[in-house]
Structure 1
Amino acid sequence: MRDLIKLLSITIVISIFCSSCNSNNQANKKSETIIAQSDIKNTKGFKLLESKCYICHFETPDPARMNQMIAPPMLRIKEHYLPNYQNKEDFIKAITTIVNNPSEENTLMPGAVKKFNLMPKLIYNQDELKLIAETIYKYEFGAAPKTRMLMMGDLKLNNGSRWKLKSESVKTIDGIINSLYSFKSNNIKDYNQFGKNIFEQAKFIMLDKSYTGDKFDQIHNFFNGVESDMHLLIQEKSIENAKNTVEDLKIKFNNFYNFFEEE
């Protein structure tokens, strides 16, 4: 009995020691992350980001300065590109490619292109551009307020009637909805690819230059409500979360028919 009590005492001490070590390790990791973010601000890459990019791009969305915004905030850029390019080298290549050759075909931000137009093609020192892209990859821009719907407004009918869209646009939405209901998999990579596929289809509607004025605004109000889900699906690691995102997308895409119809 005495030996059993002694064994239990030793076990409890070891458990407390391990728990303390884990807590200290987590605290150290958190501290290292904070220090690392602070250090990034002192790097050449961050200084280049400030001097060459923040001229047009806010660091994060600012609802109080929406009328001054002439390009998407850096946080939003990272939100769109990181899910598609999670490897650092791939991320750097994607950012440098779009900056060196801005194009609608390659953009992952069709909503921003429609609102602000394509960024001008600028001549950058390639080593500096890579440093900027690496800094965007490493730097945590933090959380941002939900500004998209504030910026664009709510979905509305056209004087009580649904907005008339081209046959190709409606058929694209039909195709996306059909694929949402027919998609089945237990492989997370299939869900990631599925997110990319439906985003690529939706992108062509968002970039359609024939839609202007109030109709343009309403199209983007709709896609503002689903674009984040498509990007979440692209980067999701959990099958359960991916399945829930697909269910959310079904509901949101079905709402399309309440506001739009084929002309």
Structure 2
Amino acid sequence: MSNNISFNLVLFGLAVFISVSCESKKPTKSKALNDQPKTIEKPVENEDLALLKMRCYACHQVSSKSHDEIIAPPLAAVKRRYLRSFPEREAFINAIVNWTMDPKEKNALMYGAVKKFKVMPYQSFDKSEMSVIAGYIYDNDLEEPEWFEEHEAEMHRGKSEN
């Protein structure tokens, strides 16, 4: 019986130790911290924009010095072209997603871009991410390279890229 009591005391002591240990791991705040006003940090940028930059700006960069330095058309050009064929939001998003998920020359809308840069290489994009990105492109003004407006006026004056 003495062994049984000792065993129960050890179990009780262990339970108390665990309970006290768990309580001591709870975060504590000093009075000084509680008295400080709470500030809510704003995100540096929209998550959708961050996704666009992460997935698209490696090729569709806006920091190039001239049209001769780019490897893909600026997204502002892509948006302009796709809006001409797909002015409704859902159709625009579907067209961008379909193109990025399976880019083929026969499905290209930007013939000049395909001629200059070739067909966009296949990327292993996530379809839901591409939908978010396409929605962001449709809903927002996009950054443009400094030379973009001049290039657009020069190359597409009176022309349609259809």
C-alpha separation in 2, matches of 1:67 and 1:84: 27
Asked if the contact 2:79/2:138 (under 8 Å) is kept, the reply is yes
Larger radius of gyration: 2
The answer as to 2:149 corresponding to 1:145 is yes
User: What corresponds to 1:47 in structure 2?
Assistant: 50
From 219, 227, 240, give the equivalent of 2:159: 227
C-alpha separation in 1, matches of 2:96 and 2:159: 20
Quick one: percent identity of the two aligned structures? 32
User: What corresponds to 1:90 in structure 2?
Assistant: 91
For residues 69-80 of structure 1, the aligned pairs below 5 Å read 69-80=70-81
For residues 1-263 of structure 1, the aligned pairs below 5 Å read 42-59=45-62, 64-141=65-142, 144-148=148-152, 224-228=156-160
135 and 149 in structure 1: CA distance in 2 versus 1, 3 angstrom threshold:
closer
Q: Which amino acid aligns with 1:96?
A: V
The alpha-carbon deviation at position 55 of structure 1 amounts to: 0.5
Asked if the contact 2:67/2:151 (under 8 Å) is kept, the reply is no
Question: What TM-score, normalized by structure 2, do the two folds share?
Answer: 0.63
C-alpha separation in 1, matches of 2:78 and 2:124: 20
User: What corresponds to 1:260 in structure 2?
Assistant: none
Q: Which runs of 5+ in 1 are unaligned?
A: 1-38, 151-220, 232-263
Residue deviations 1:149-182 (CA, integer Å, cap 9, x gap): 76xxxxxxxxxxxxxxxxxxxxxxxxxxxxxxxx
User: What corresponds to 1:234 in structure 2?
Assistant: none
Q: Which amino acid aligns with 1:46?
A: L
Give the count of matched residue pairs: 117
Q: Per chain length, whose mean CA-contact separation is higher, i.e. which structure has more relative contact order (CA < 8 Å, sep 6+)?
A: 2
The alpha-carbon deviation at position 142 of structure 1 amounts to: 6.3
Extract structure 1 runs of 4+ deviating beyond 3 A.
Answer: 224-228
The alpha-carbon deviation at position 225 of structure 1 amounts to: 4.3
Asked if the contact 2:62/2:143 (under 8 Å) is kept, the reply is no
135 and 119 in structure 1: CA distance in 2 versus 1, 3 angstrom threshold:
same
Q: Which amino acid aligns with 1:129?
A: M
C-alpha separation in 1, matches of 2:95 and 2:151: 26
Residue deviations 1:198-253 (CA, integer Å, cap 9, x gap): xxxxxxxxxxxxxxxxxxxxxxx7xx44434x67xxxxxxxxxxxxxxxxxxxxxx
The alpha-carbon deviation at position 132 of structure 1 amounts to: 0.7
Q: Which amino acid aligns with 2:140?
A: Y
C-alpha separation in 2, matches of 1:90 and 1:50: 22
Asked if the contact 1:57/1:74 (under 8 Å) is kept, the reply is yes
The alpha-carbon deviation at position 135 of structure 1 amounts to: 0.7
SS of alignment partner, residue 149 of structure 2: coil
